[in-house]
Amino acid sequence: MPARTVLQRADIARALTRISHEILESNRGGSDLILLGIPTRGVVLAERIAANLEAFEPGSGVVGALDVTMYRDDLHRHPTRTPSPTRLPAGGVDGKTVVLVDDVLFSGRTIRAALDAIGDLGRPRAVRLAVLVDRGHRELPIRADFVGKNLPTAAAERIFVRLEETDGDDAVSIEGIA
């Protein structure tokens, strides 16, 4: 079955704009806020959301990257993964509200690893989760606070997120296993 596009460039931009507003609303402004993207595409999304926040409320677009490779529970099941750098904003995460940003929320295991990783970096006041796509099929009691699009999927289907910065264009598509 061929890939079916479910989000176009404009849909992604609108979703990210709405998420940006929701983050500011729930945080009651942009103070003590840190966006941490999970590599690879979560970092790109975090940077886009940060640019939105900066436009709405200057000084609020603090962004970093959080690599979770070393915290995964499936390292023995896959070929060796190469970690990406973790970049933390100056001042660290202590006492801040951290918003984790990822492209697709699926089993929840990546987020579980990210929560462990944050725990080793310091003690944030709160941790929130923003994702572009929530496709269901959770294996852990984890949910997202900010969701771009809920996409009901079959477990065997695959979701592809393409972003300008990493893949040359913006699109979310879904592919069934024929």
Partner 1 sequence: MRHLLSTADLTRDEAVGILDLAEDMADVATRAVPKLPTLRGRTVANLFFEDSTRTRLSFEAAAKRLSADVITFSAKGSSVSKGESLKDTAQTIAAMGVDAVVLRHSASGAAQVLAESDWIDAAVVNAGDGTHQHPTQGLLDAYTLRKTLHADASRGRDLDGVRVAIVGDVLHSRVARSNVWLLTTLGAHVTLVGPRTLLPMGVGAWPVDVTTDLDAAIAARPDAVMMLRVQQERMHAAFFPHEREYASGWSLDDDRFARLAADTIVMHPGPMNRGLEISARAADSPRSVILDQVTNGVSIRMAVLYLVLSGSDPREAAA
Using CB under 8 A, list all residues that contact partner 1.
Answer: 67, 70-71, 75-83, 85-86, 92, 116, 119-122
Rounded to a whole number of angstroms, the minimum distance from the CB of residue 90 to partner 1 is 13
Nearer to partner 1, 23 or 118 (CB): 118
Q: Smaller CB distance to partner 1: residue 39 or 148?
A: 39
The residue among 90 and 178 lying less far from partner 1, judged by its C-beta, is 90
Q: What DSSP assignment string belongs to 94-155?
A: TTSEEEEEEEEESSSHHHHHHHHHHHHH---SEEEEEEEEE----SSS---SEEEEE----T
Least distance (Å) between residue 96 CB and partner 1 = 13
Rounded to a whole number of angstroms, the minimum distance from the CB of residue 40 to partner 1 is 15
**Chain position carrying tokens 């849909």:** 11
28 vs 78, beta carbon nearer partner 1:
78
> Half-sphere exposure of 157 toward its Cβ, with a 13 Å CA cutoff?
18
| Phi and psi at residue 160, to the nearest 5° | -115, 120
